[in-house]
Amino acid sequence: MEALNNKGIICSFCAETVLEHIGRVAMNYCTSHLLAMYDSKESFVDHLIEVVCCCYIYRTVNQGENRLELSRGRFTHLLDLCKKAAKKKRVKRRHDEIYLGILSFPSEFNCSFNEFIAIVVDMFGYLPLKLQAPEHAMI
């Protein structure tokens, strides 16, 4: 919540998705259950990144541009491959940069989502769902 309050998540789509997800989870589970759901801070961050990537995929398939005119199933499959490639890249980056210690939540989150978006652009040659972000953001 601190990252949201301090505008540490630079993409409004990401911030809205995280806020909606945390609100839904908080409404459905008690505090003790929430604390037991994740074995580490890193696993919680990974979960939020997964949620935002899945939401991006859902919105892209339903509202984005499909300039390549792929079938809905193929379009979804390729976006899912992008998500998996971004996860592999995130794991490798964390391993390669272990000497730096654990990044702050906003830094890890923004970096991970930007990696996902870069892979999507590389896969399709364009960004199928435009995201609004401040001028200094990479998205």
pLDDT, residue 104, reads 85
Give the C-alpha distances (Å, rounded to integers) separating 54 from 32, 58, 80, 81, 99.
26, 6, 8, 12, 30
pTM of the predicted protein model: 0.84
pLDDT band at 4 (very low <50, low <70, confident <90, very high): confident
* Mean pLDDT over the full length of the chain: 87
Q: Is the pLDDT of residue 76 over 80?
A: yes
Token pair, residue 18, equals: 């995280």
Helix and strand numbers (H, E) in the chain are 6, 0
Cα dihedral 125, 86, 22, 9 sign: negative
Q: Is the pLDDT of residue 37 over 90?
A: no
pLDDT, residue 122, reads 97
Q: Is the pLDDT of residue 87 over 50?
A: yes
Q: Is the pLDDT of residue 52 over 90?
A: yes
**Nearest partner of 3 among 39, 49, 40, 54, judged by Cα:** 49
Give the C-alpha distances (Å, rounded to integers) separating 77 from 40, 61, 66.
30, 10, 13
> Can you tell me the mean pLDDT for 68-79?
95
pLDDT, residue 49, reads 94
pLDDT, residue 139, reads 43
> Residue 92: exposed, middle, or buried by beta-carbon count in 10 A (0-12, 13-18, 19+)?
exposed
Share of the chain above pLDDT 90, in %: 52
